[in-house]
Structure 1
Amino acid sequence: MGTTKDLAPGAHVAVLRRAHGWSQVALARRASVSLSLLSKIEVGDRPLTPDVAAALGRALGLSMAEVQGRASVRADDEQLLSALRAAVRDYDLPEHQAVTEARVTAGFATADAHRDAVEVTELLKMLPSLLRDATTHAHTENSGTAWSMLADVYSTVYWLAARHRWMDLAELAVARQQWAVDQHHTPVGAAFAARDRAGTYLNFGDVERGLDVVDRAIVAVQSAPLSTADRDLAVGTLALRGMTLAGRLRDKREGLREAQRHIESAWRAASSFPGRVDAHGLTFGTQQTFTHVLATQVDLGRPREALALTTDLDTALAGLPPTRIAPTRINTARAQLDTGDLDGALTNVCEAFAVAPQMARIHPMGRELLRVLFSLHRRSDPTMRRLSKLSGISL
């Protein structure tokens, strides 16, 4: 999806700073970031982390996602993106010809498979028509199942938009998802919509409000008349989002306290399921919880604690879809880079590109790690040249 012209996030910071006419000293002071760190981020000797990106965004009047830079699409995909935006815009305008539930179910299953495999190009190709089909079916049938299916399609639109940092589309998709849930309210559907809404706050760097959304949703779920399985699924999924948000808090001691609360909640919920449970286009279970805990430890600035979880990473990730394996490899690489293990970091970045090349190419931290590894290794070999070609980042 992303073109080879997209800048890595750290390099994008330098472009934004110059566009504001600010020196590094001025930006560092306004963002309360050390000048040395900012300088290293811009030249590629340190990766731009989410919390630093959020701090720089506040200084620049931008969201965290805008600081990291939007992932572009190829010229021949622009028409598909326009078609998707039009389908989202026509949320209350069903087509005149009826659509069967079987057609929507089959379409969503295909979209879910593309999402799990992180085949973002293929997902963009089919989402406009799937969204129109789901919209028509929901308006025609006006049943809880039909509206739930439409909400799930909007959740997938949010996922695609958030991965590319198209935050206008991501916000609109979440609003439409909530609207669909409200047409035939269910506590579980509302919980998944709250999870995605909190995700937009995560992408904007406003983690405190995102945590508020998560906590309110958890209270609502716990007081709703649900089966134990449905309650654990909803609470567990929200807790995964909560721990991620907590890891991004600037006050890391507070972040650790908040993260631990959500980590314990997620583990309790996951223990209710003997394996993974798939619902609403998402997967929840002990493995999913493990990947989020590892990522949160890295975000909290605890790389050694994160790496202590990776003694048998292949087994821990066995059977998970690429959409979870690739980010976990990237997070492991980030922890290794923080502890000075450049070769280990390069190995895990290579694994991320091998399992999910389309995600690794647009993942902000994946691109940042490559840029830093290229800078620190200061060599060109077949592996480096291959990764440079795949990512579009120059050696």
Structure 2
Amino acid sequence: MSTTTVDPAPGANLATLRKEHGWTQRKLARTAGISESLLSKIEVGDRTLTPEVATSVATPMGLTMDEVLGKATVERHDEAPLSALRSAIRDYDLPDGRTVEEGAVTEGLRAADSRRRKVDVATLKRTLPGLLRDATVHAHTRNTPEAWMVLADVYSSVYWLAARHRWMDMAELAVTRQRWAVGQKPNPLGMAVAARDRAGTYLNFGDIERGLTLVDRAIADAQSNLSGQDRDIAVAILNLRGMTLAGRLKDKREAKREAQRHIDSAHNACIGMHEDISVHGLTIGPQNTFTHELATCVDLGKPHDALSLTDNLSRALQGLPPTRIAPTYINTARAQLDTGDRDGALENLCKAWEVAPQMARIHPMGREVFRVVSSLHRRSNAKLMKLSKMSGIEV
């Protein structure tokens, strides 16, 4: 099990930050453009702190969305691998004099992709520093589009690890290095993947409009420079990011319009894909598009629409990796909580923990939904107590 913890849950973290910055609930609510009643309910655990509201309250206090949601902290014996990873990132253009076999690098990348898909965060933290150094040597030595793409894919995994923990300094640096690596040799598909990850940093910071601008520019580039399946893959992954960004726009009329545009485009790009495929560590296809559409409906404040997308969630998710299954159970729990189905929300939170406990432990909305579910339940039960022990959040 990962030793990473997040304490406290987002809503409770907001209350702490507000007091530390000397803001009253009335002043923060008024400045953020939300009701004081909503802010009070969020802080005491009667309502979830959504990413959209987190952005609204973060800006007046000079914070980012992810700072309000709360960074994942790391136990002392996990600090060394992260220090080694930061060192490897700094040495992006300083390959050492070792000889690295191509097979070792490609096998290391396959293993990293597998750990990422399974959400084996603990092992990924330990192995990424060495893999990044090996891939750096390999890229500089071979100097081929394929070798530079391998290095870019390793940086993509670094970004994924950092973004999941909300270590945004590392995430930003990783996407910068990723774009640098893929730009060493012409690679339009690699540039699309890098743009997708870069747009993710805008999502994490709550800078939605600029993130959407970046996505639309990258889609235009992909349509101009790619053809066939590569173009479909690039357009699909960029539209998945686009719909997630659009769902968090403050203007809900614009959000619905923009989200639907990206949803339709993603579905069109997946028309020729009969099943989901894995490309550069990402899952592409109709099933993953469904999971993003469900999450976007929840962000848009349309929980009933989210729940109506399928009458059998387990079947809809069958075959997808845990990295996609667990967040979908969490988003379904969010929708159920919004519709008053507390028992259903708790049931799906349990499924998320069963599928990917390391992700559920660091997922801000998973922890936040559990905080609210446990607050609203009239009495404790076995499921609540079990999740309380696993999450570290008291009932």
TM-score of the aligned structures, taking structure 2 as reference length: 0.98
Report the Cα offset of residue 381 of structure 1.
2.2
Report the Cα offset of residue 267 of structure 1.
0.3
Alignment partner, residue 358 of structure 1: 358
Alignment partner, residue 181 of structure 1: 182
Alignment partner, residue 69 of structure 1: 70
Q: SS of the residue aligned with 2:122?
A: helix
Alignment partner, residue 234 of structure 1: 234
Count of matched residue pairs: 394
Partners of 1:384 and 1:339 in 2: how far apart?
Answer: 19
Letter in 2 for 1:308: S
Change (3 A) 1:344 1:76: same
Instruction: Output aligned runs, 1:1-395, within 5 Å.
Output: 1=2, 3-4=4-5, 6-224=7-225, 226-395=226-395
Partners of 2:244 and 2:6 in 1: how far apart?
Answer: 30
Partners of 1:62 and 1:185 in 2: how far apart?
Answer: 37
Report the Cα offset of residue 379 of structure 1.
2.0
Report the Cα offset of residue 208 of structure 1.
0.4
Partners of 2:122 and 2:155 in 1: how far apart?
Answer: 17
Letter in 2 for 1:11: A
- Contact 2:158–2:174, Cα closer than 8 Å, also in 1: yes
Report the Cα offset of residue 2 of structure 1.
5.7
Letter in 2 for 1:361: R
Report the Cα offset of residue 83 of structure 1.
0.8
Task: Provide, for residues 122-150 of structure 1, a one-character-per-residue CA deviation record: whole Å limited to 9, x for no partner.
Answer: 11010000000000100111111000000
Q: SS of the residue aligned with 1:183?
A: coil
Report the Cα offset of residue 269 of structure 1.
0.8
Partners of 1:6 and 1:129 in 2: how far apart?
Answer: 29
Task: Provide, for residues 43-79 of structure 1, a one-character-per-residue CA deviation record: whole Å limited to 9, x for no partner.
Answer: 1111100000010111111110011010011211011
Amino-acid identity (%): 64
- Contact 1:37–1:46, Cα closer than 8 Å, also in 2: yes
Letter in 2 for 1:207: I
Partners of 2:3 and 2:34 in 1: how far apart?
Answer: 29
- Contact 2:26–2:36, Cα closer than 8 Å, also in 1: yes
RMSD (Å) for aligned C-alpha atoms: 0.9
- Contact 2:325–2:352, Cα closer than 8 Å, also in 1: yes
Partners of 1:194 and 1:329 in 2: how far apart?
Answer: 27
Report the Cα offset of residue 274 of structure 1.
1.9
Q: SS of the residue aligned with 2:46?
A: coil
Letter in 1 for 2:187: T
Report the Cα offset of residue 4 of structure 1.
4.9
Task: Provide, for residues 275-334 of structure 1, a one-character-per-residue CA deviation record: whole Å limited to 9, x for no partner.
Answer: 122111111000010000000000000000000013111110001000000000000000
Partners of 1:127 and 1:3 in 2: how far apart?
Answer: 16
- Contact 2:6–2:70, Cα closer than 8 Å, also in 1: no
Q: SS of the residue aligned with 1:310?
A: coil
**Residue ranges of structure 2 left out of the alignment (5+ in a row):** none
Partners of 2:143 and 2:253 in 1: how far apart?
Answer: 48
Change (3 A) 1:51 1:2: farther
Report the Cα offset of residue 3 of structure 1.
4.6
Q: SS of the residue aligned with 1:278?
A: strand
Q: SS of the residue aligned with 1:283?
A: strand
- Contact 2:162–2:170, Cα closer than 8 Å, also in 1: yes
Report the Cα offset of residue 5 of structure 1.
6.2
- Contact 1:46–1:372, Cα closer than 8 Å, also in 2: yes
Q: Which segments of structure 1 move beyond 3 Å, counting only runs of 4 or more? A: 1-5
Task: Provide, for residues 162-187 of structure 1, a one-character-per-residue CA deviation record: whole Å limited to 9, x for no partner.
Answer: 00000000000000000001111211
**Residue ranges of structure 1 left out of the alignment (5+ in a row):** none
Partners of 2:210 and 2:138 in 1: how far apart?
Answer: 34
Report the Cα offset of residue 255 of structure 1.
0.5
Task: Provide, for residues 308-361 of structure 1, a one-character-per-residue CA deviation record: whole Å limited to 9, x for no partner.
Answer: 013111110001000000000000000000000000000000000000000001
Q: SS of the residue aligned with 1:274?
A: coil
- Contact 2:148–2:181, Cα closer than 8 Å, also in 1: yes
Report the Cα offset of residue 254 of structure 1.
0.3
Q: SS of the residue aligned with 1:273?
A: coil
Partners of 1:276 and 1:380 in 2: how far apart?
Answer: 40
Change (3 A) 1:68 1:147: same
Q: SS of the residue aligned with 1:223?
A: helix
- Contact 1:155–1:174, Cα closer than 8 Å, also in 2: yes
- Contact 2:6–2:72, Cα closer than 8 Å, also in 1: no
Change (3 A) 1:328 1:63: same
Partners of 1:314 and 1:114 in 2: how far apart?
Answer: 22
TM-score of the aligned structures, taking structure 1 as reference length: 0.98
- Contact 1:211–1:242, Cα closer than 8 Å, also in 2: yes
